[in-house]
Amino acid sequence: MITSTTIREIVAIYVKHGWVLRRVLLSGKSKGAIEIPADVVDGVSIVDSDLDALWFSRPPKPGGVAWEIRHLSTEPYALLFTMDELDPDFENALDSAENVFRSNLAGRKEA
Residue by residue, pLDDT tens for the chain (111 residues) are 688 899 999 999 999 999 999 999 999 888 888 888 888 888 898 999 999 999 999 977 776 789 999 999 888 899 999 988 888 999 999 999 999 999 999 877 654
Query: Closest by alpha carbon to 83, among 91, 71, 75?
Result: 91
pLDDT of residue 111: 47
What pTM does this model have? 0.90
46 by DSSP, 3-state: which? strand
DSSP one-letter code for 41 = S
Residues with Cβ < 8 Å from 14, sequence gap 6 or more?
21, 54, 56, 68, 70
